[in-house]
Amino acid sequence: MAMTVTLKVWRQAHASAAGRFETYAAENVHPDMSFLEMLDVVNEGLIRRGLDPIAFDSDCREGICGSCGLVIDGLPHGPDSGAATCQVHMRRFRNGDTITVEPFRARAFPVLKDLVIDRSAFDRVIAAGGYVSMNVGGAPDGNSVPIAKDVADLAMDNAQCIGCGACVAVCKNAAAHLFTSAKMTHLALLPQGQPERQRRALRMVAQMDAEGFGNCSNEGECEAVCPKGISIASIARMNREYLKAVIGG
């Protein structure tokens, strides 16, 4: 059965323009549509009327790329736990609902247009140390470097981070500790990441601070909205990594 919902959408012409909420009716919405598909339908209607469509980011639409992040009714990515915006379906809403849609809010994530933000601060944190630069030669045999299963599993849990920024958007301090700790932890746990371990911790934390992200108050909202369920235990590991690097231990 088709639905009709009212959208209050943040519109902002460009980065230095003043923004405002505008109201649109989304009609003939099928409950099985994803939230982004619903926005596509709204945009088709705006284009037919000669109006500027709502700008928003998306790519994979499979919960992998992280570019689709929107704040829906005050929640980064919307009402579904463990899901990116593109994985939220309209059946989560009721016919006649009014839904507020806005971009992630953080000083380090400036709005470019409407719902599109600049996440390049995350790229610079990664460039500061979230990589393995040593020449490792060809791929080794599968069992030549034994890694305990619990360690490998934990590394992969953290490697799932898609860099969407929901952790920053939900934090009252706009902290990027969950993102940075996930990127740091998965390399710190693996043998290939050991030679640069201390330098990585120092550089990534310094870059995170330089980008203007806030301090972690350890309240756990970041874990709650993370579409990949990354634990705040990673933040404790990052703090230990950083302290060891500072004292040279």
pLDDT average, residue stretch 53-81: 96
pLDDT of residue 102: 98
Q: At the fourth CATH level, which superfamily is domain 3-112?
A: Beta-grasp domain (3.10.20.30)
Instruction: Give start-end residues of each CATH 3.10.20.30 domain in the chain.
Output: 3-112
DSSP letters for 7-69: EEEEE-SSTTSPPEEEEEEEEEE-TTSBHHHHHHHHHHHHHHTTPPPPP---SSSSSSS-TT-
> What's the pLDDT score for residue 69?
94
pLDDT, tens digit, for every residue of 124-134?
999 999 998 86
Q: What is the pLDDT of residue 138?
A: 75
Q: 119-247: what fold?
A: Fumarate Reductase Iron-sulfur Protein; Chain B, domain 2 (1.10.1060)
Read off the tokens for 150: 């619990």
Quick check: helix, strand or coil at residue 70?
A: coil
Please provide the DSSP assignment of 107-119 as one string. TTS-EEETTEE--
Confidence bin at 249 (pLDDT 50/70/90): low
pTM of the model: 0.93
pLDDT at 104: 98
* pLDDT for res 241: 95
pLDDT in tens, 190-229: 988 998 999 999 999 999 999 999 999 999 999 999 999 9
Nearest CA to 152 out of 196, 125, 192, 205 is that of: 192
Q: Using DSSP bridges, classify how beta strands 111-113 and 116-117 pair: parallel, antiparallel or unpaired.
A: antiparallel
CB 232 within 8 A of CB 218: yes
